[in-house]
Amino acid sequence: MVSAVNLTTYLFEVILSHLVLTSAVLLVALTAISWYIRDSHKVGGFSQKHVFITGCDSGFGNLVARQLDGKGFHVIAACLTEKGAADLSALASPRLKTLLLNVTDSESIRRAVEFVSREVGERGLWGLVNNAGRSTPIGPTEWMDVNDFTKVLDVNLMGVIEVTLQTLPLLKKAQGRVVNVASILGRLSLTGGGYCLSKYGVEAFSDSLRRNMVHFGIKVSIIEPGFFKTAVTQRDLIEADLRRLWARLPQEVKASYGHTYIDNYVKAQNFSLGILCSPDLSKVTWCMEHALTACFPRTRYSAGWDAKLFWIPLSYLPSFFQDFVTNLLLPSPKDERM
């Protein structure tokens, strides 16, 4: 028979375990509710705020420019081409202003910032969205030369740095926001070339900028998209550039990979992009908008199911496991000299 003492002890333990479980569930629920309420608070006066966005010819920049314009912001959209600027203007309200900007050209940046300064006046600049970027040349590291790296780094990293430095006085006036578009490839380097390097650099630059500028009321957010259907992931352009890189390699290097490697590489990359790339760009532009409109913007925003459920979790795992998974995505070289 079970003694009364043992039965009492057992019941006490059961009740205690239920209380602990209930308390934990309540704590999680209260935390989630508090986070949701905090996340939902918005700043006011959109019609009095100016936002400067780079890379607005297409993709994320084009969509977020129209999105913010629809919210009543004074949007200054920087495009690389006259066609991009004209097409965007045709889709937006008269309030949206466009200008031409090459983020690799210091003089072009200077002229753009002068234009922005005249537009914002003493109010200052509420938001800067560093969105302009490029992906190619991208591919195996050995296929690159230094110029291939700098072509990407000049746009994706140095362009972000120079545009930000030149607009900081305007941002300080408004105690505004900086939104930098990085990538999940700024957490996990999947391929060679300057793209992953540039996005790692954007992460580091944004972190240091955030810590420096908090004293002036400026908030800095990083957007980390997964794979989306934009010009950066346009398969025909990436394939053409990969074949250009392959064609110029010495025969000795080609032989070390095997003559079928380029075709296998292109097939694997196109297959991965076809599966992973989402056409819903609003998942990214919602993050940009929240970073500009929330009272308490997040430090980092992940966008896309692949970023949230696969790439970012993978980035926290040990390096040997990351290497194993990423090596499954691309073919292995087959040395023909053996």
The pair of three-digit structure tokens given for residue 36, joined into one six-digit string: 């949701």
Separation CA 243–CA 191 (nearest Å):
16
Peptide bond into 313 cis (omega under 30): no
Q: Which residue from 121, 222, 215 is spatially nearest to 164, judged by alpha carbons?
A: 222
Residues paired with 128 in a beta bridge: 52, 178
Residues paired with 278 in a beta bridge: 228
The pair of three-digit structure tokens given for residue 338, joined into one six-digit string: 């053996």
DSSP of 78-107, one letter per residue?
EESSHHHHHHHHHHS-TT-EEEE--TT-HH
**Which among 10, 195, 200, 257 is annotated as catalytic?**
195
Residue 195 annotated in active site = yes
Q: Are the C-beta atoms of residues 162 and 106 closer than 8 Å to each other? A: yes
Radius of gyration over alpha carbons of the chain, in Å? 25
Q: Residue 177 carries which side chain, given as an amino acid letter?
A: R
Half-sphere exposure (Cβ direction) of 1: Cα atoms closer than 13 Å: 3
Active site residues: 195
